[in-house]
Amino acid sequence: MFRGRALQVLEKQVLEMGHRRLHIEERDQMRTLVLWDSRAHEAVLEVAAQDRLVTADQPDPAWAATTRQWWSRLAYQGGSWWVVDQGDLTPDRWWPGPSRDYVAGTPEVAPHPSAIRRA
């Protein structure tokens, strides 16, 4: 469940894609928790999947393999956990995980997600 900035970002993305008649399909997901910070209530999931961008001109595009890391900040409110901030990490900020060997550059550990500046 999403609240706050996390919900605002997702609502904006859905509206923009809806106006352009686009949607993303994803299948064969494999998720791995690569970071959990119990003090900051932050998590990073690595998601490996196949996805495709469906458009009015291309209703059945080819599937492509993709891997991304998704950062989220959680808050416990009203008896439930909520995602209150979130975003995809750029590969240079990825945490060690199953696909880390495929990231270009040195295998240095990225800065903590709480250090990521948000606009």
Q: What is the residue-level pLDDT of the chain in tens, covering all 119 positions?
A: 899 999 999 899 999 999 999 999 999 999 999 999 999 999 999 999 999 999 999 999 999 999 999 999 999 999 999 999 999 999 999 998 876 544 444 334 444 444 444 43
Domain count, the chain: 1
Q: Is residue 48 part of a domain?
A: yes
Q: Tell me the Cα Rg of the chain.
A: 16
Overall size of the chain counted in residues: 119
Which domain does 38 fall in, by range? 4-54+62-97
Q: Is residue 102 part of a domain?
A: no
pTM of the model: 0.73
Q: Is residue 76 part of a domain?
A: yes
92 class by beta-carbon count within 10 Å (0-12 exposed, 13-18 middle, 19+ buried): exposed
